[in-house]
Chains A and B, each alone.
Chain A
Amino acid sequence: MSFKIASSPHGHSQHSTSSMMRWVCYALVPGVLIQSYFFGFGVWFQIVLAVITALLAESACIIARDRPAMSALRDNTALVTAILLAISIPPLAPWWIIVIGTLFAIVVVKHVYGGMGQNLFNPAMAGYVLLLVSFPVQMTNWLPPSTIGEHSLTLWQTLHTILFEYTPAGYSVEQLRAGIDGVTMATPLDAIKTGLTQGFTLTEIYDKPQFSFLAGAGWQWVNLGFLIGGLLLIQQRIISWHIPVGVIAGLCVPAFFAYLFAPDLMAGPIVHALSGATMLGAFFIATDPVSAATSNRGRVVFGLLIGLLVFIIRSWGGYPDGVAFAVLLANMCVPIIDRYTRPTVYGHGERK
């Protein structure tokens, strides 16, 4: 009989890092399904490309750093990073976009800083921002949702476009973006931004086909899909409610008041909440534990900050969406947020 010496506690709850990450992947399913319904099969190709790149890059880094490869690969964190980045970029973006972005996210943002748990920034969002500032054209080529778009591509046409940047028939993505009226279709947030600079009021802009009864056509359903997935994560206790609620409140409360004061110039809270990457950002990206604040109070502050930054960037900044920038900026603030939101330790508070 051999006696194994072990440190207490001798039990463990069921959640492991890899199962948590797996749950994140499951929770993305509704959003991704809706996204592929509205924006085509491209998103699946992007996910496959990103996952392959991420796993190869992760393995290479781990081997280069002389770490046990299997346990690191099995933790599924690279998988989550890859999928998040893949669903953030336009589905028809050329293949090298996602490969570069994923390589940057895994190699530079994650492993150069010391691997899992050590990265200061959200790898997927850092990768996204790198791509956005380096390849603005490819990164903003979103097709209009299938319900209003002129073209819908088959599986083969999609693959061809991603690989060669043209459909088999020779259309560029730019040409595919034309709507029924022959005008290039911008994403809803883009349309708001451009329309306002051209002197239109929001009411006029909302008449465009990109918008439907809640927010942007297609986009609102994608956002609702990620909202459902996010609620599943909260229900499974994979994430706590503090960050998503913070993000949504930080975005929607200022948007609500801005809308009250200038309804013709400021998008309302519902448009903000259900367009762009709001829900994906609130539930799946801002909640990345490694680069987020750790205490519950800190998480609320962190979320509010992201929401507020998104509101500011969307309203007055140079970019239509801004979730990625907001998350990265908030990542930078995490040490100070953590410092000032640390809860009082038992026995160190004021006597009641």
Chain B
Amino acid sequence: MSHSDNNTIYVSSNVSGHFPGGIHPPERKAPACNNSIRSLPLPDELILPVRQHIGPSGNLLVEPGQRVDKGQQLTEASLSLGLPLHAPTSGIIHAIEERPTAHASGLPELAIVIKPDGEDRWGNKHTIPDYREVEVSRLLELIQQAGIAGLGGAGFPTAQKLAQQKPLRHLIINGVECEPYIAADDGLMQAYADDIVAGVKILQYITHCDSVLFAIENNKPKAIDAILAAIGDDSQIALKVVPTKYPSGGEKQLIELLTGEQVPSGKLPMDIGFLMQNVGTAYAVKRAIIHGEPLLERVVTMTGDAIAKKRNVWALLGTPIEHLLKESGFTAQTKQRVIMGGPMMGFTLPSIEVPVIKTTNCVLAPTEEELPAPGPELACIRCGACADACPATLQPQQLQLLAKAKDYDALDEQNLFDCIECGACAYVCPSEIPLVHYYRKAKAEIRNIAREKAKAEHARQRFEARQERLEREKQERLERHRKAAEARKKTQAEKAETPSSDSKEKPESGGKSAAVAAAIARAKAKKAAQAQKADEENSSAKGNES
């Protein structure tokens, strides 16, 4: 494939590496990526879960009934890993209560509910026209305060990732978007290429990195053209067009694809000189730094055959999925599934009242014909199709057997935790075994066991410490008694040595009192002897009984 639209020629693949496995599911991106990104009418309420990223949630800064401006901070990040939240539009805090959230478990979480007033009135914006005049630490602070989390998948706080300064070889910008159906990044790159590249330059400034690899899959020609035009003659940014294959956009897979290197197990890309950011994140960074706008909205792909208007929309964070579906001409089918994310890694929603969060890139409402529900699970025939598809070169069929047998040591030995849960194995499995499901379960069980073990270990240490303390106290007590006894002995011996001096001082009373004391002692001795005799009788009686 070669394009000459803007006098630039690129080949279908200009990557130097390769990753094993991978699959080619039907892409089905066309309906969504061919239109511009639409803005939707405001929903009746916005539901903002206070925790939308890895790490703890922030402290509340608002209370019910309070009026807020667009962009106003709602929570304050308490710890270094937390992120603040902002009001996506102006309105009134309606409630702060538990609401169902966008999580596979569907468990309710604390959320701030805003009733928009329809004015969409901005509060103060702190713009920085020339970020080069600002210190890096201040920029990081601004990114943190804008509440930016990685918009690709896991939602890791961006400033945290940027702050882990190690010498970088390449800054990698991920515009691969390899999951079928999803076209959010594609749409963003087509419409906002200049902003994205501006964001990339800010990231470059922050990381002092002079080599940027900007990766896009070759099934997005319009995005490629737009980004090429935006890069212009910047020699530090290289556009890498990668072949269409799932999961090329996985962080580890993309690194291997672009550089031929693997991130050692248990290490971060940073450890070998790479830093990856999603194109959406770069865009958000640009909005935050140059325009002073916190992260309030994101592009969401509305797709699936149960949706009439398949397209990309700008969705305010907190928008209920129900609102997005209603605006997109959704007709519920029998056995309807609504998936947040793509068909490969997304999760089915327990209800459509859940809101858009920072990592929501797609709402997929397929019909049963389009994505049939899995058939009955058959026995594994060890065909190895899963192993051929695994981008991490694991042996999924073995892992599955071991997971069913709950052989956790063997699972560990076979590197279960290197599974990235991309779903390629389950996709190709002819026996329709829900492999990823088994791995997730096994991972959770292993983590539980580790937690229990740690707890038990903690309890054991506490018990041993207590035993030690008791033993020590006993020894100390005995030592004290011994010392006291010695001291008594000593004083008695001293007394015995100096009776004459005593009698000298109190000659008459001394002899008398001694006689009395001797009498008392005799009486006591007699009593003790009697008691002892009684005791002995008792114990011998008991002995006879038994």
State which residues 246-274 of A face B: CB under 8 Å.
Answer: none
Contact flags A282-296 to B (C-beta < 8 A → 1, else 0): 000000011010111
Q: Which one of B23, B261, B391 contacts A352 once the chains associate, using CB atoms below 8 Å?
A: B261
| CB pair A294 B384 closer than 8 Å | yes
- Report the 7 A-B pairs with minimum CB-CB distance, sorted nearest first: A9-B423, A347-B265, A117-B379, A7-B437, A289-B383, A346-B392, A294-B384
Q: Name the contact of B381 in the complex, choosing from A6, A10, A289 (C-beta under 8 A).
A: A289
B58 at the interface (CB under 8 A from A): no
B154 contacts partner chain A, Cβ-Cβ < 8 Å: no
Taking a contact as CB atoms under 8 Å apart, the answer to whether A13 and B23 are in contact is yes
Asked if residues B350 and A5 are in contact (CB atoms below 8 Å), the reply is: yes
Q: Please, which residue of chain A has its CB at the minimum distance from the CB of B384?
A: A294
Q: List 10 A-B contacts (CB under 8 A).
A: A2-B335, A8-B347, A11-B344, A11-B371, A12-B432, A17-B430, A117-B431, A294-B382, A343-B20, A345-B393
Pair A296/B392 contact, Cβ less than 8 Å: no
- Give B contacts to A, CB under 8 Å: 19-20, 23, 25-26, 180, 252, 256, 260-267, 272, 332, 334-339, 341, 343-352, 364, 366, 371-376, 378-385, 387-388, 391-395, 397-398, 414-415, 418, 421, 423-424, 426-432, 434, 436-437, 440
Identify the interface centre among B23, B25, B343, B384: most chain A CB within 10 Å of its CB. B384
Interface centre among A3, A240, A289 (most CB of B within 10 A): A3
Contact A13 B376 (CB under 8 A): no
- Tell me if A43 counts as interface (CB < 8 A to partner B): no
Q: Is A16 an interface residue (CB 8 A)?
A: yes
* Distance in angstroms between the alpha carbons of A75 and B377 in the assembled complex: 11
Bound CA–CA A19/B394 (angstroms): 26
B374 partner residues in chain A, CB cutoff 8 A? 6, 12
Whether the pair A342, B426 counts as a contact (CB closer than 8 A) is no
Contact A17 B381 (CB under 8 A): yes
Q: A345-B418, A346-B252, A346-B393 are in contact. Are A12 and B427 (CB under 8 A)?
A: yes
Chain A residues near B376 (CB-CB < 8 A): 68, 71
Given contacts A8-B347, A17-B430, A116-B379, contact A348 B265 (CB under 8 A): yes
CA distance A168 to B165 in the complex (A): 91
> Out of A3, A240, A343, A351, which one reaches B393, CB within 8 Å?
A343
Decide yes or no whether A170 CB sits under 8 A from chain B: no
CB distance from B27 to the nearest CB of A (A): 11
Are A4 and B336 touching (Cβ within 8 A)?
yes
A115 to B388 CA separation, bound complex (whole angstroms): 25
Q: A4-B335, A16-B375 are in contact. Are A347 and B381 (CB under 8 A)?
A: no
B262–A117 touching, CB < 8 Å = no
In the complex, are the beta carbons of A296 and B260 less than 8 A apart?
Answer: no
Closest to A118 in B: B379
Which residues of A from 1 to 57 have beta carbons under 8 Å from B? Answer: 1-13, 15-17, 19-20
Chain A residues contacting B344 (CB-CB under 8 Å) are 8-11
List 20 extra interface pairs beyond A2-B334, A6-B337, A12-B372, CB under 8 A.
Answer: A1-B336, A3-B337, A3-B348, A4-B373, A10-B346, A10-B371, A11-B26, A11-B180, A13-B25, A16-B432, A17-B431, A115-B379, A289-B381, A289-B384, A296-B388, A343-B393, A345-B265, A346-B394, A347-B267, A351-B264
How many residues belonging to A are interface residues under a CB distance threshold of 8 Å? 44
Residues of B within 8 A of A19 (CB): 430
Determine the distance from Cα of A1 to Cα of B348 in the docked complex, in whole angstroms.
14
Contact (Cβ within 8 A) A1 B395? no
- Whole-angstrom distance between the alpha carbons of A1 and B335 in the complex? 8
A12 to B267, CA, bound (A): 32
B423 near A8 with CB under 8 A, answer yes
Find out whether the CB atom of A10 lies under 8 angstroms from the CB atom of B337. Answer: yes
Contacting residues, chain A, for B395 (C-beta < 8 A):
294-295, 342
Residues of A within 8 A of B434 (CB): 7
Do A5 and B348 have beta carbons less than 8 Å apart? yes
Asked if A344 is at the interface (CB within 8 A of a chain B CB), the reply is yes
Q: Judge if A223 is at the interface, Cβ distance under 8 Å.
A: no
**Would you call A278 an interface residue if the criterion is a C-beta within 8 Å of the partner chain's C-beta atoms?**
no
Are B427's CB and A295's CB within 8 A? no
Q: Which residues does chain B contribute within 8 Å of A81, judged by CB atoms?
A: none
Q: Does A349 have its Cβ within 8 Å of any Cβ on chain B?
A: yes
Q: Point out the residue from B266, B383, B384, B440 that lies within 8 Å of A295, measured CB to CB.
A: B384
A187 at the interface (CB under 8 A from B): no
Cα distance A35–B266 in the bound complex, in angstroms: 57
Q: How far is the CB of A328 from chain B (nearest CB, A)?
A: 17
A345 B378 Cβ-Cβ under 8 A: no
